[in-house]
Structure 1
Amino acid sequence: MQEKIVQTAGRQQLGDFAPEFAHFNDDVLFGENWNNQDIDVKTRSIITVVALMSQGITDSSLKYHLMNAKNHGVSQKEMAAVITHVAFYAGWPKAWAVFNLAREVYSEKIEELTEKDEYQNTIFFPIGAPNDGFAQYFDGQSYLSPISTEQIPIYNVTFEPGCRNHWHIHHAKSGGGQMLICVGGRGYYQEWGKEAVPMTPGTVINIPAEVKHWHGAAPDSWFSHLAIEIEGEDTSNEWCESISKEDYLKAISD
């Protein structure tokens, strides 16, 4: 199975100005088309370079796809052959322009993917930025990415291996609570006085208001869940004590 292609450039650069275009770019073009396995990613990369070269496009988009081709196994020798071949059909000046970019790309050393990068390639939603605003309520590093801030607030929360949040309670006079939907990795959810529940992609946890609980990653796995705040009256969050490493390991081993 090929590595999943994840793109967030549309939302990062045009999410506020052109959200529909950003959706088509990130979710349809890359999220669906680039992940269609009828053609492998290496071949798609070559096709894209050829298409852009044929149109005379030699801006940052071509450089991105040259780098994408390099990262997915297109060697310098193969790329040179591709550009030379297309030159006879698309034009010699275009080949010169593309070769200038290709030389720049292939002279750059490919940076090794970090664990975070590798994990991001396995999930659909972006990991987001370090969750600094709530860092005091987490043991370990977490990340936060807003998925929807209108109608129903939805956030993708990602935990590095072993990271978990403190015990906490979602208070509400009526309604309220939270829903968690696991979208990647492996983690756990535990309510006070009950056994921990394992969470894997597709697991849905419904948390009523006034229930003390924690959730976080397994010791050896990254973990991501969507956090959906349930509408209620007079809602608030109360953060309580942290769960010690000893209690955390005991809870997930029972």
Structure 2
Amino acid sequence: MAQKKITQTAGQTQLGDLAPKFAELNDDVLFGEVWNRPGLSAHDRSMVTVATLVGKGIIDSSLSHHLQFAKSNGVTRTEISETLTHIAFYAGWPNAWGAFRLAKDIWRDETTNEDAKAAFQHEMIFPIGEPNTEYAKYFKGKSYLARVSASQIPFSNVTFEPRCRNNWHIHHATKGGGQTLVCVAGRGWYQEEGKPARMMKPGDVVHIPANVKHWHGAASDSWFAHLAFEIPGENTSNEWLEEMTDQEYDKLKWE
């Protein structure tokens, strides 16, 4: 997934009349070029910027802006807390206190679950996407869906929270059909009816023939994401069946 291009107009908005060249350098060079250079992600550049500002004792509205910017670039509550704690020993306790007061308000509404979700996003290049509401009734737990491509062989990235899994189901087809799964992050399970459950880790591939009953989902202690490729076929349809119960799921063991 390509990094979203960073743009900035604050220089022009606030200083364009007074200092047009400074505004141009701020918006077009600093943010337009430096922040978009390859080699560091926007997430990492935000971390570096926050550390530098706190180290210089700048804990005013400028830091508040960059903390908000850091959050929008995917910096989690856990990451900012650890970063400021580390900085305190090198940049001074009062500076860290001031930064924490600002960060506390900015990350106030971020729940532990959202923090974990944001951290998991950093493990893979594909987007987590939106809550998988259309198919939620066929999943136990919360899942997310991001359509990656609708051309040639359509495929999506499906993300499962820990313990989330879909119901037993069958991809029907009279010819061709079926599905291929490619694990891209985390750890999870795949199981066909009558066979032992198979663990899935990043890079693992599962080929699911048409008309085979199966389920897949996350490990109990890990988020899990896989690409799901829809194999073309004739007279294709999905049949959703019973759920994978807690009793059955809790019997699964990693080997």
Give TM class, smaller chain. Answer: 0.5 to 0.7
What is aligned with 2:31? 62
CA 1:57 to 1:253, structure 2 compared with 1: closer, same or farther past 3 Å?
Answer: closer
8 Å contact 2:199–2:254 — kept in the other structure?
no
CA 1:173 to 1:198, structure 2 compared with 1: closer, same or farther past 3 Å?
Answer: same
What is aligned with 2:4? 9
Q: Distance in 2 between matches of 1:236 and 1:134?
A: 14
The secondary structure found in structure 2 opposite 1:57 is helix
Q: Distance in 1 between matches of 2:230 and 2:198?
A: 20
Q: CA deviation at 1:102?
A: 5.5
Number of equivalenced pairs: 190
Which aligned pairs between 1:161-240 and structure 2 lie closer than 5 A? Answer: 161-240=162-241
8 Å contact 1:141–1:159 — kept in the other structure?
yes
Give identity over the alignment, percent: 46
- Residue identity matched to 2:4: A
What is aligned with 2:66? 105
8 Å contact 2:162–2:224 — kept in the other structure?
yes
Which aligned pairs between 1:76-155 and structure 2 lie closer than 5 A? Answer: 76-78=53-55, 104-105=65-66, 108-109=102-103, 111=107, 114-155=115-156
8 Å contact 2:189–2:218 — kept in the other structure?
yes
- Residue identity matched to 1:221: S
- Residue identity matched to 1:56: L
Q: Distance in 1 between matches of 2:117 and 2:2?
A: 15
Gaps of 5+ in 2: 7-21, 36-41, 68-98
Q: Distance in 1 between matches of 2:3 and 2:137?
A: 28
Q: CA deviation at 1:250?
A: 1.5
What is aligned with 1:89? none
The secondary structure found in structure 1 opposite 2:126 is coil
User: Which of these residues, 45, 58, 71, is aligned with residue 47 of structure 2?
Assistant: 71
- Structural RMSD (CA): 3.2
Question: Which ranges of 4 or more aligned residues in structure 1 deviate by more than 4 Å?
Answer: 63-68, 77-81, 99-103
Q: CA deviation at 1:100?
A: 7.7
The secondary structure found in structure 2 opposite 1:220 is coil
Q: CA deviation at 1:193?
A: 0.6
Q: CA deviation at 1:135?
A: 0.1
Deviations, residues 54-82 of structure 1 (Å, cap 9, x unaligned): 961337x839959864434523255689x
Gaps of 5+ in 1: 1-5, 11-24, 26-52, 82-98
The secondary structure found in structure 2 opposite 1:105 is helix
Q: CA deviation at 1:165?
A: 0.2
TM-score (norm 2): 0.65
TM-score (norm 1): 0.65
Q: CA deviation at 1:104?
A: 3.6
Deviations, residues 157-191 of structure 1 (Å, cap 9, x unaligned): 00000000000000001000000000000000000
8 Å contact 2:163–2:217 — kept in the other structure?
yes
Deviations, residues 11-52 of structure 1 (Å, cap 9, x unaligned): xxxxxxxxxxxxxx9xxxxxxxxxxxxxxxxxxxxxxxxxxx
- Greater CA deviation, 194-203 or 67-76? 67-76
Q: Distance in 2 between matches of 1:193 and 1:77?
A: 59
Deviations, residues 132-161 of structure 1 (Å, cap 9, x unaligned): 000000000000001111111110000000
